[in-house]
Amino acid sequence: MKLWFAIFLGIVQGITEFLPVSSSGHLSIFQNVFGMTNIEKNHMFFDVLLHLGTLISVCIAYRSDIADLIRVFTGSFRKSGSRGGAEKSKARPAARLMVLLIVATLPLLAAVFLKDYVEKLFDNTIFVGIALIVTGLLLFASDRAARGSKNEKNATVTNAFFVGVMQAVAIVPGLSRSGSTISAGIFQGFDREFAVKFSFLMSIPAILGANILSLFDAMADGINLSLLPVYLAGVAAAAISGYFAIKLVRYIAKRERFGAFAYYCWAVGILAIVLTIII
């Protein structure tokens, strides 16, 4: 693998992981309609590293929230002293956010048992096209939903579970994980900025879980350590592009401008269906 190609793939991974356009849907179309070489099979370890790169971008973008979650988990928030009151005011929302994230992650456990079935859907580009159209409908509707005010202080476990179910459903190719979960949060009355934050924080256990499963397969296929410097360049590109993609989504959500992505998903979905029929 060439250095420039590794960087290119890193940029594509970082952008499509967080923009609501379904990276898996695009990969399916490229592979089945345009005959693109399956990079994941030939460089499975690199694919794992690229996802870790996007994980780094989430950790940087939400480092303050993640630090608070870690402090809740370890019980290291100050309980007394001059800063005790301020610490307590931060600890309670962080503790509730941790509970909400755990509840939202639970539906993914069911997705593990559907892995083989979902992988077969990657070859069905008509299904992928329809799923992209559905993604566009979700984004279009979320722009027009009433503004909510729920955040980690007053969102319920039922709200979180619904968003988690949407994340589990979005494992199918063509349904954008970020688009589905952000839209679900907005439909549940989340403040738009919190809907984005919750979606991306949810991606941490999702990415870690998927990578742990993929890592065993990658190690079984063997790892070419001579390509490690090239791979790391791709990881850096994924982390940097992912960080800016997150900032862009936060900006778009705040201004209710997902419409452009909706039209894009509709166009790509229709194109995938038409090309599948005529080719």
pLDDT value at residue 81:
45
CB atoms within 10 A of CB 78: 15
pLDDT value at residue 80:
45
- The whole model's pTM is what? 0.88
SS3 labels along 25-72: HHHHHHHHCCCCCCHHHHCHHHHHHHHHHHHHHHHHHCHHHHHHHHHH
Determine the structural domain holding residue 43 and report its residue range.
Answer: 3-278
Report phi then psi at 153, rounded to 5.
-80, -30
Determine the length of the chain.
279
For the chain, the domain total comes to 1
pLDDT value at residue 39:
54
Mark the ranges of the chain whose per-residue pLDDT is less than 50.
Answer: 80-82
pLDDT value at residue 13:
85
pLDDT value at residue 82:
44
